[in-house]
Amino acid sequence: MEIIERKKDQSEVKMLSPLTWAYIGDSVFELYVRTELINKTNLKPHKLHIEAIKYVKASAQAKILEKLKDKLTEEEMEIVRRGRNTQNHHLAKNATVQEYMYSTAFEGLIGYLYLTKQDERLKEILDMSMDI
């Protein structure tokens, strides 16, 4: 059962800005990380938050993407390239410009897979991300 209806088809999703993919990808990744932490630990909410930050901060996402590159398909690498090269006028806080670019690319990939309903592949990448 799909809880959240994703109405756009793949061709419509491809036409979206990579920043739109990253916008939803940020939420999808954070929800996944929080859920995994709750499933695998007995931490209290404040400690859960501290632990989650280790995964969702820009520098961590940039490292995850760097280690995932060899496991991505050509299409996924193209999504990453588009996300990385997108002009973002947001100033990175606690991250270098390069880390921020790569974290945006990572979030873009997650968002793209989510919006195109590639749930099995999305789960594979999310699982690999937690292992890195």
Paired tokens of 1? 């059962």
**How many C-alpha atoms does 111 have within 13 Å on its Cβ side?**
24
Angle at 49 between CA 45 and CA 53, to 5 degrees: 170
| pTM, 2 dp | 0.93
Name the residues annotated as catalytic: 26
What does the pLDDT read at residue 89? Answer: 63
**Per-residue pLDDT of the chain in tens (132 residues, 90 and over written 9):** 567 888 999 999 999 999 999 999 999 999 999 999 999 999 999 999 999 999 999 999 999 999 999 999 999 999 999 999 887 767 667 888 899 999 999 999 999 999 999 999 999 999 999 999
* DSSP one-letter code for 91: P
What angle is formed at CA 88 by the lines to CA 102 and CA 4, rounded to 5 degrees?
A: 75
Other CB atoms within a 10 A radius of the CB of residue 100 amount to 20
Domains of the chain: 10-131 (1.10.1520.10)
